[in-house]
Amino acid sequence: MRLKKTLFVSDLHLDEARPEATAQFERFLGATAPGADALYILGDLFEYWVGDDGLAFPFNSRIARLLKTGIPTYFMHGNRDFLVASRFAAETGIRLLEDPTIIDLYGERALLMHGDTLCTDDHEYQAFRRQVRDPKWQAGALAQPIEARVAIARGMRVKSQNAKDGKTDEIMDVTPAAVDKAFADTGCKVMIHGHTHRPARHVHRVNGTDCVRWVLADWYGPANYLEATPDGIRSVPVA
């Protein structure tokens, strides 16, 4: 009898300069994902994505081919790959998800997010997020030559790292009040997100009920994923 399982990953930050992460992802798709009911990628699959015409780059084309597994695969935008769009979805077979999204996870309503919208105390980042998610900004960005977009994306990575160096850990983590509000507004008792690169299982007491928040690991080192079955959820290292 086939084990029912649903898999969750985020923050792989795949990049040609980090072949070890790509190799881990390839092993994961080949050895772990087959037979899964679904695979959810909750943002930042790529270190950066400058538009779907970037599929012409050999590395991006390789990742697109890896995703053609036949497993129902869902993708939610992160703060690095918010320009992933319909062409990428069509060529890989993935389905694009809104952030947030609620799914039925073996009888439990689960709230899926990338996680950056929960970092409400980081006002500088939230202003940046509003800017780059604006359709007019995106249209202007995509109108530029792809080489210019790549240069801008690389510059934004450096700027982002420099900005982090000047922020406290508390500012860059989720705001507890935002988490409690997300639980209360949706009525979910399970939340899964990435973004913060702080994998953990947290219990929040919301309106007298224990709610569980799972934070996904990044793939900068030894990789982990979440496996959900009818018996529960656990974090598992990538073999």
Q: What percentage of the chain carries pLDDT values higher than 70?
A: 97
**Alpha-carbon span 36 to 48, nearest angstrom:** 27
Q: Report helix, strand or coil for 224.
A: strand
pLDDT digits (tens, 9 = 90+) for 201-226: 999 999 999 999 999 999 999 899 99
**Alpha-carbon span 111 to 103, nearest angstrom:** 7
Q: Which two tokens stand for residue 171?
A: 């500012």
pLDDT digits (tens, 9 = 90+) for 97-132: 999 999 999 999 999 999 999 999 999 999 999 999
pTM of the entire predicted model: 0.95
**Alpha-carbon span 29 to 67, nearest angstrom:** 8
Query: How high is the pLDDT of residue 2?
Result: 65
Query: How high is the pLDDT of residue 171?
Result: 75
**Environment class of 126 (CB within 10 Å of its CB; exposed 0-12, middle 13-18, buried 19+):** middle
User: What is the separation of C-alpha 161 from the centre of its chain, rounded to a whole number of angstroms?
Assistant: 18
**Span 28-45, average pLDDT:** 97
Q: 95-100 — which CB contacts under 8 Å span 24+ positions?
A: 97/40, 99/43, 100/182, 100/186
**Alpha-carbon span 16 to 13, nearest angstrom:** 10
Query: How high is the pLDDT of residue 51?
Result: 98
Q: Is the pLDDT of residue 227 over 70?
A: yes
**Directed axis angle between helix 19-27 and helix 58-66, to 10°?**
20
**Span 191-197, average pLDDT:** 97
Longest distance between any two alpha carbons in the chain, whole Å: 53
**Alpha-carbon span 186 to 225, nearest angstrom:** 24
Distances (CA, A) of 118 to 9, 67, 126: 18, 28, 10
Query: How high is the pLDDT of residue 45?
Result: 98
Sequence spans of domains, the chain: 6-237
pLDDT digits (tens, 9 = 90+) for 136-191: 999 999 999 999 999 999 998 887 777 666 678 777 899 999 999 999 999 999 99
What is the distance between the terminal CA atoms of the chain, rounded to a whole angstrom?
23
pLDDT band at 1 (very low <50, low <70, confident <90, very high): low
**Alpha-carbon span 96 to 93, nearest angstrom:** 10
**Span 41-61, average pLDDT:** 97
CATH assignment, 6-237 = 3.60.21.10
